Amino acid sequence: MAERVGVYICHCGSNIAGTVDVESLAQWAKDTLDGVVLARDYKFMCSSLGQELIEEDIKEQGLTRVVVAACSPHLHEKTFRKACSNAGLNPYLCHMVSLREQVSWVTEDKVAAFEKAKALLAAGVRRVHLHEELEPTEVPVNPNTLVVGGGIAGIQASLELADAGYPVYLVEREPSIGGHMAQFDKTFPTLDCAACILTPKMSDVGGHPNIHLMSYAEVEEVTGYVGNFSARIRKKARYINEADCTGCGICIEKCPKRVVDDVFEVGLGYRKAVYRPFPQAVPKFPVIDREDCTYFERGTCRACEKFCPTEAIDFEQVDEYVDLEVGNVILATGYDLFDCTKIPQYGYGRLANVFTSLEFERMCNAAGPTEGKIVLRDGVTTPKSVALIHCVGSRDKRHNPYCSAVCCMSALKFGHLVMEKTGAEVTSFYIDMRPLHKNYEEFYDRLQQEGMHFVRGRVAEVSDAARRPGEEGKLIVQAEDTLIGRQRRIPVDMVILLGALQPRADAKETALRFGISCSMDGWFTERHPKLDPVATMTDGLFIAGTCQGPKDIPDSVAQGAAASARVQGMISVGTVLIEPIVASIEEARCSGCRICNNLCPFNAIDYLEDKAVSTINAALCKGCGTCVAACPAQAITGAHFNYDQITAELEGILFDAPRGNGRHARRLEPALEPAS
């Protein structure tokens, strides 16, 4: 059956009509293009009157295809598809041609604009002839949610979901939840103690009937699609039976092996081979670190086992795998601190009294290695002067071009704490002060009142090479003070480096495992930077907290809550529609060569050993068409972007190009007459 195509050309006020002669274009389309039974131009196609026009024509003129030449399909494709479906035409039989963004707004020459409009319209009409009816599929949403990462963002997301009555699986890599916030001493700008506000939330998580907490565990594999994910969790062996352990801590006390704690104490303090990162850890169960444990090293010791009152120690434990079914996933995997040894001129790792911000947090924390005393590396001397260097590894093209967002406020907080606890002189070396949230500027003002010094300038080096009197035995911070236009050399006892917030070292692998993307820097990419900051391009996968980009505690909490609200919305609706723009394999044409098998990052392609053919799981397919383009047998078809549709569009777009004699070389016409 020949298709009856209706063409609608929008004036968009004068946005299109001001450059393209829309009336002539409509006339040309009707006269020239195959199957066009009517071509109209109209002031605003997206208005309700414009949409009604299409609906009436479909009903009265029996249109079987619709082409709307107006703005970008990203604006109004949904509008016109809906108009078609209102009139009983499958929405995928409608096609949009972008005359505004691609022709009238970007072209000055009206003649050239008209020619380009003709080509785009010809392409659209040729293409729409070959469109097929498509139907989205509806799938149920599993009410369980997987939250990955037990920092403040993950905690917030889990609690909100759990409080709303939905089951949550919270997976944390370390033995305890709490994240970076648990390491901090005070929080800016209110200076309330981090533990005081965090630990209640942590114990809420630990005791919540709807939260299934899996600490010391990692997500190994995620498969499935929105509403129906399967996740495999590896629970690392704790060598302690959680069922028997009371969390009394005797094992920790009795363990003879003391090692530097590189994670929670960031190398500044010690822990035992059997340990809990900190006393308020949730869950309360300790972990035996296989790497450091004397028993695992030499085969003897077992002190913990001897003293455990409940016989909870189990050296035979092995990693355990748990398979979960969830409907949505929230990633809240956090950040890593910049490796400050990468900027050796600042002395970290070379000069004893240069510390990182996290080291300082631990030092300041009453539960930390110095019990809250601010001291030099010797462990006893109180510094009389402290320098704070901002932007270490941030705003630096050689490391990270971005601003880490929290360092200015951390520096102010550190300044306050140093002055309060030691009375030392504090100097901050900053590039720009960025206290940009509620009550932050006031905090900056307060520190200026309190007598903290501020030098605007990037530090050149931190050195122990004294030059002037008064510099001996000190660390000399050299910087250009750009406000007075002078080089300054400021001798101090202690230097604190405000290291950049960086994506987790394994962020890219994580992104790949969950099927989302990372920016060039390595932060997880949100669906829209302004309007959809916690969703990702993968339906059912949400991100919260610093894994999306540097941010402070209030923003992380807000994102955790926002992500959980998005998930609740999905669960309460109960079902989702899945786009029908997917690829499919024609089994008879597939030879099972397996070229396509590892091309799909969403694991939608499976190989069926018994039939020796590959097959596509439509629910997992996102419709990119990469496998379609790759199939050497051309056995894969991509709905709505199939080979014939695209080549038809190509033929239309080049309708006026010199064709030569096409596919066939010139033939001799008329046919040769043999002599009779």
Partner 1 sequence: MSEQTFEPKIVAFLCNWCSYRAADLAGTARMKYEPNIRILRVMCSGRVDPTFVLKAFALGADGVMIAGCHPGECHYLEQNYKAMRRYEMLSHTLKVMGVEPERLRLQWASAAEGAQLSAAINDMVEKVRRLGPLSWAGNWSENGYHLEAIERLAEEHAEAMEVPA
Partner 2 sequence: MTKPKLALYWAASCGGCEIAVLAIDDKILKVAEAFDIVLWPVAIDAKVRDIEKMPDKSIDVCLFNGGIRNSEQEYMAQLLRRKSKILVAFGSCAHEGCIPGLANLYDRQSIFEYVYMQSPSVDNPQGILPQPEYQAPEGTLHLPVFYDTLKTLDQTVDVEYYVPGCPPEAENIWGVVEAVVAGLGGAPLPPPGTVLGKETTVCDECERTRAEKKIKAFKRTWEIKPEAETCLLEQGLVCAGIATRAGCGALCPKVNSPCIGCHGPNAGVEDFGARMMTALASVIDSQDPNEIQRIIEAGIPDPVGTFYRFSLAHSLLRRSALGGNGNGRGLKVPVPVPQAEVNP
Partner 3 sequence: MSYAYYPGCSLTHSAEPYDLSTRAICEAFGLALAEIDDWNCCGATEYISINKAGAYGLVGRNLALASEQEGVRELVAPCSACYLNLRKVDHNMGVYPSIEAMTNYALAAGGLHYTPGSLHIRHLLDVVVEDVGYDAIAAKVVRKLDGLRLAPYYGCLIVRPQINGGTADPEYPTHLDRLLMTIGAEVVDFPLKTHCCGGHMSQISAETAYELIRHLLQNAADYDADAIVCACPMCQFNLDAFQSQVNRHFGTDYNIPVLYFTQMIGLALGMEAEELGIGREVVAADAALAKIGSAVPEVAAPRRPRRDDKALPMPRRREEV
Q: Which residues bind partner 3 (CB under 8 A)?
A: 258, 260, 267-270, 339, 341, 343-345, 347-352, 356, 359, 363, 369-370, 375, 377-380, 461, 463-467
Least distance in Å: CB of 634 to partner 2? Answer: 5
Place of tokens 């299409």: 54
> Residue 623 binds which one of partner 3, partner 2, partner 1, none, with CB within 5 to 8 A depending on kind?
partner 1
> Residue 206 binds which one of partner 3, partner 1, partner 2, none, with CB within 5 to 8 A depending on kind?
none
Least distance in Å: CB of 631 to partner 2? Answer: 7
Half-sphere exposure of 627 (CA within 13 A, CB side): 32
Least distance in Å: CB of 151 to partner 2? Answer: 31
DSSP-assigned states of every residue in 35-77: TEEEEEEES-TTSHHHHHHHHHHHHHH--SEEEEEES-HHHHH
Q: Which residues contact 81 (CB under 8 A, 6 or more apart)?
A: 91, 92, 94
659 binds partner 1 (CB under 8 A): yes
Sign of CA dihedral 620, 621, 627, 633: positive
d(C-alpha 641, C-alpha 465), whole Å = 68
d(C-alpha 484, C-alpha 49), whole Å = 66
**Displacement of CA 209 from its chain's centroid (Å):** 29
Query: Torsions phi, psi of 218, nearest 5?
Result: -135, 150
Least distance in Å: CB of 614 to partner 1? Answer: 16
115 binds partner 1 (CB under 8 A): yes
> Residue 379 binds which one of partner 2, partner 1, partner 3, none, with CB within 5 to 8 A depending on kind?
partner 3
> Residue 464 binds which one of partner 2, partner 1, partner 3, none, with CB within 5 to 8 A depending on kind?
partner 3
Beta strands in 274-422 (DSSP E): 274-275, 287-288, 320-326, 328-331, 335-337, 354-356, 385-392
Residues binding partner 1: number (CB under 8 A):
67
Is cis: bond before 469, omega within 30 of 0? no
d(C-alpha 585, C-alpha 590), whole Å = 7
In terms of CB distance, is 252 or 629 closer to partner 1? 629
d(C-alpha 165, C-alpha 156), whole Å = 14
Secondary element (H or E) of residue 543: strand 541-543
In terms of CB distance, is 103 or 354 closer to partner 3? 354
Least distance in Å: CB of 19 to partner 1? Answer: 10
> Residue 649 binds which one of partner 2, partner 1, partner 3, none, with CB within 5 to 8 A depending on kind?
partner 1
d(C-alpha 575, C-alpha 141), whole Å = 5
Stretch that binds partner 1, among 316-324, 336-344, 411-419, 626-634 (CB under 8 A): 626-634
511 binds partner 1 (CB under 8 A): yes
Least distance in Å: CB of 80 to partner 3? Answer: 54
DSSP state of 535: B
98 binds partner 1 (CB under 8 A): yes
In terms of CB distance, is 412 or 613 closer to partner 2? 613
633 binds partner 1 (CB under 8 A): no
> Residue 662 binds which one of partner 3, partner 1, partner 2, none, with CB within 5 to 8 A depending on kind?
partner 1
> Residue 209 binds which one of partner 3, partner 1, partner 2, none, with CB within 5 to 8 A depending on kind?
none
Q: Which residues bind partner 2 (CB under 8 A)?
A: 588-599, 607, 612, 626, 629-635, 663-665, 667-668, 671-672, 674-676
Torsion angle (degrees, nearest 10) of CA 547, 548, 553, 557: -100
603 binds partner 1 (CB under 8 A): no
Q: Compute the radius of gyration of the chain from its Cα atoms.
A: 33
Cβ–Cβ under 8 Å, residues 352 and 464:
no
Cβ–Cβ under 8 Å, residues 95 and 128:
yes
In terms of CB distance, is 29 or 557 closer to partner 1? 29
108 binds partner 1 (CB under 8 A): yes
> Residue 601 binds which one of partner 1, partner 2, partner 3, none, with CB within 5 to 8 A depending on kind?
partner 1
113 binds partner 1 (CB under 8 A): yes
Q: Which residues contact 395 (CB under 8 A, 6 or more apart)?
A: 401, 402, 403, 431
Q: Which two tokens stand for residue 207?
A: 């005791």
Q: Are strands 328-331 and 541-543 parallel, antiparallel or unpaired?
A: parallel
299 binds partner 1 (CB under 8 A): no
In terms of CB distance, is 226 or 631 closer to partner 2? 631
Place of tokens 């005791």: 207
> Residue 72 binds which one of partner 2, partner 1, partner 3, none, with CB within 5 to 8 A depending on kind?
partner 1
Among 622, 633, 637, 670, binds partner 1 (CB under 8 A): 622
Least distance in Å: CB of 459 to partner 1? Answer: 32
DSSP-assigned states of every residue in 638-659: ETTS-HHHHHHHHHHHTTTS--
Stretch that binds partner 1, among 108-116, 128-136, 425-433, 548-556 (CB under 8 A): 108-116
Residue numbers at the binding site for partner 1 (CB under 8 A): 72-74, 98, 100-103, 105-109, 112-113, 115-116, 119-120, 123, 511-512, 515-520, 525, 537, 581, 599, 601-602, 622-626, 628-630, 638, 641, 643, 646-647, 649-651, 653-654, 656-663, 665-666, 668, 672-675
